[in-house]
């Protein structure tokens, strides 16, 4: 089989961040820390750890965040949701994470307790939405606060104007950065960014990049969260069935090409959804000419 062509796209000046999720088993925990160790030398601006709606992963998220802060030099952000919790319960969680050293939160409303696709209802006595949560965080401390943004609109938004208004509410409440839902059509992102700026929103809008670990699973997830999967993805993966190495090469090519194209359009920051796996993320960065940095102190002591 002919190997997919490797693009040469030197964009070493871009800034990156990584997303991890808390492990659910000892094997997954080992995989996570192997991934952290492999990606740490790329010196991301920050890393974030996801947090289940209603605090369903509070303890594993907190444990992961604590270890990242204690054992690595990585600036670490924790996701925070307000679904299924009172204001006092959320505040207690914030204080617990703050005591662990967290100074950056990714504030999200969270999926409805009935799962994606079900109707959302605020918890009695809880924060109404993500904008309300951001405001609550602002009252508790001088945090860096990232929020979500949706180039293809949140599935629950009636239209683009409603969706954009929610982002503006989050910014007005004190958000300092927006991390987008993954997307694959850069023209969609560029049009979205134009609307965002026209609305007077000036905070960084950081593209969320999803290297494709499994195209079938990605399509299923995308259909639930309102993200499109362009036909060119099928075309690029055609002929790679049964060849894991070829599929991984195509996936890295696609992610690297997407970042390189966005960089040419003036975007400087990217948030990579690692899925707790390093190889595909590293392959993407290598295609962009982004090399791991050698720790001079450790190297000298070796």
Query: Domain residues of the chain, as ranges?
Result: 15-301
**DSSP type of residue 150:** -
Cα–Cα distance for residue pair 98/290, rounded to 1 Å: 32
Q: Two tokens at 145?
A: 């606060």
What is the pTM assigned to this prediction? 0.91
Q: What are the angstrom distances between the C-alpha of 97 and each of 141, 175, 177, 231?
A: 12, 18, 20, 42
Domain 15-301: which CATH class?
alpha beta
β pairing state of 15-20 and 269-273: parallel
Say if CB 106 and CB 78 are below 8 A apart: yes
Rounded to 10 degrees, the C-alpha dihedral 155/161/166/169 comes to: 170
The whole-number pLDDT of residue 54 equals 66
Cα dihedral across residues 77, 78, 83, 86: positive or negative:
negative
Cα–Cα distance measured from residue 1 to residue 30, given in angstroms and rounded to the nearest whole number: 34
What span, in angstroms and rounded, lies between the C-alpha atoms of 14 and 188?
A: 20
Cα separation, 175 vs 172, in Å, equals 7
Mean pLDDT in runs of 10 for the chain (302 residues)?
A: 47 91 95 98 97 80 97 97 90 96 95 58 83 96 97 92 97 98 98 98 98 96 92 96 95 96 96 98 96 60 36
CA atoms of 176 and 234, how far apart (whole Å): 36
Tell me what pLDDT residue 83 has.
Answer: 87
pLDDT of residue 296: 41
Q: Which residues are catalytic?
A: 19
What three-state secondary structure class fits 275?
coil
Contact 233, 212 (CB under 8 A): yes
- Interatomic CA distance for residues 67 and 102, integer angstroms: 12
Dihedral over alpha carbons 31, 40, 243, 257 (to 10 degrees): 140
Determine contact, residues 134/107, Cβ cutoff 8 Å.
Answer: yes
């Amino acid at each position: 089989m002919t190997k997919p062509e490797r693009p040469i796209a030197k964009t070493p000046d871009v800034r990156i961040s990584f997303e991890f999720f808390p492990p659910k088993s000892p094997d997954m925990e080992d995989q996570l820390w192997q991934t952290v160790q492999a990606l740490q030398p790329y010196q991301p601006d920050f890393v974030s750890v996801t947090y289940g709606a209603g605090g369903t992963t509070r303890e594993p998220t907190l444990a992961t965040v604590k270890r990242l802060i204690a054992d690595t030099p990585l600036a670490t952000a924790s996701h925070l949701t307000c679904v299924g919790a009172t204001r006092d319960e959320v505040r207690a969680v914030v204080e617990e994470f703050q005591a662990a050293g967290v100074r950056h939160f990714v504030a999200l409303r969270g999926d409805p307790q009935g799962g994606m696709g079900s109707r959302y209802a605020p918890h009695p006595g809880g924060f109404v939405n993500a904008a309300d949560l951001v405001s609550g965080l602002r009252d508790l401390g001088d945090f860096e606060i990232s929020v979500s943004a949706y180039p293809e609109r949140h599935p629950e938004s009636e239209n683009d104007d409603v969706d954009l208004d929610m982002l503006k509410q989050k910014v007005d409440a004190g958000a300092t950065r927006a991390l987008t839902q993954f997307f694959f059509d850069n023209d969609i992102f560029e049009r979205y960014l134009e609307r965002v700026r026209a609305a007077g929103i000036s905070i960084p809008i950081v593209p969320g990049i999803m290297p494709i670990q499994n195209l079938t699973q990605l399509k299923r997830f995308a259909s639930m969260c309102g993200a499109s999967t362009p036909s060119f993805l099928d075309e690029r993966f055609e002929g790679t069935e049964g060849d894991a190495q070829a599929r991984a090469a195509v996936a890295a090519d696609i992610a690297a090409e997407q970042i390189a194209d966005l960089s040419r359009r003036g975007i400087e920051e990217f948030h990579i959804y690692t899925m707790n796996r390093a190889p595909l993320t590293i392959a993407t960065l290598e295609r962009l000419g982004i090399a791991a940095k050698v720790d001079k102190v450790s190297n000298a002591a070796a």
